[in-house]
Amino acid sequence: MIARKKISAVIFDCDGVMFDSRQANINFYNHLLGHFGLPPMAEDAISFIHMHTADESVRHIFRGTPYVEEAQAYRMEMDYSPFMKNMIIEPGLKELLRWLAPEFGIAIATNRSNTIGDVLEYHSLAEFFDIVVSSLDVHKPKPNPESIFMILEFFKINADQSIYVGDSQVDYETAKAATVPFVSYQNEELETPWKIKNLLEVKEILLQYLLRG
């Protein structure tokens, strides 16, 4: 058992951190476009959907068409399960969650919307998380820090008693706005002293904090 620790909670982004969901997202949004007879996304649109909410992504890829609101309605009623098999769990995630579970609060702050619960259940991950905040749970999604503040309030902790593991500029800006220490996963361009290539490296960061305490 860890008796003393500075960090009490670990917050994860979902896409790009917990999962390699690039192909799942591409398939999902291309399906939406195809349903309305539109061509697949270009590369710049693929980059956009990786970091933004489903609502924002639909508005982006359907901009200039008459189908924006219809596409939003269709998205909400679609069965997402066919796309879950394309979401690949990142190496080390389950091992890290098992290590964290006895001692740390575990949370997700994601710009996913109505799909996050089904994704966690499908991949047998739901049991690990104390709180999951999606874009549907906040008034303003990331990079607004509202989701992080909800999680800190849930755990009754200060910002410096948590870390946020993300992979994008949006994640970085969210953590910075919330004054939460940020861990960059597989992205060397983000400004943080903690840059990791494998999720199990989160253990080393937490142990460093413990030694400080």
Q: How confident is the model over 11-48, as pLDDT tens digits?
A: 999 999 999 999 999 999 999 999 999 999 999 999 89
Same domain, yes or no, for 131 and 170? Answer: yes
**Residue 73: domain span:** 22-84
Same domain, yes or no, for 78 and 112? Answer: no
- What is the rounded distance in angstroms from the CA atom of residue 199 to the CA atom of residue 186? 9
Give residues with Cβ within 8 angstroms of 179, minimum separation 6: 159, 160
- What is the rounded distance in angstroms from the CA atom of residue 18 to the CA atom of residue 171? 13
Q: Which of 63, 84, 105 is the last residue of a domain?
A: 84
Q: Which of 84, 111, 130 is the last residue of a domain?
A: 84
Q: Running DSSP on this structure, what letter comes out for residue 159?
A: G
Same domain, yes or no, for 126 and 176? Answer: yes
Beta strand extents in the chain (DSSP E only): 9-12, 19-20, 88-89, 105-109, 131-133, 162-166, 182-185, 194-196
Strand partners, 79: none
* pLDDT class of 210 with cuts at 50, 70, 90: low
Tell me the average pLDDT across 167-175.
Answer: 97
Same domain, yes or no, for 96 and 158? Answer: yes
The total of structural domains in the chain comes to 2
CATH of the domain at 60: 1.10.150
Go through the chain and tell me how many residues it has. 213
> What are the tens digits of pLDDT across the range 126-161?
999 999 999 999 999 999 999 999 999 999 999 999
Same domain, yes or no, for 134 and 47? Answer: no
The verdict on pTM exceeding 0.85 is yes
Predicted confidence at residue 50, as pLDDT, reads 85
Predicted confidence at residue 79, as pLDDT, reads 87
Same domain, yes or no, for 124 and 149? Answer: yes
Whether 4 is in a domain gets the answer no
CATH of the domain at 129: 3.40.50.1000
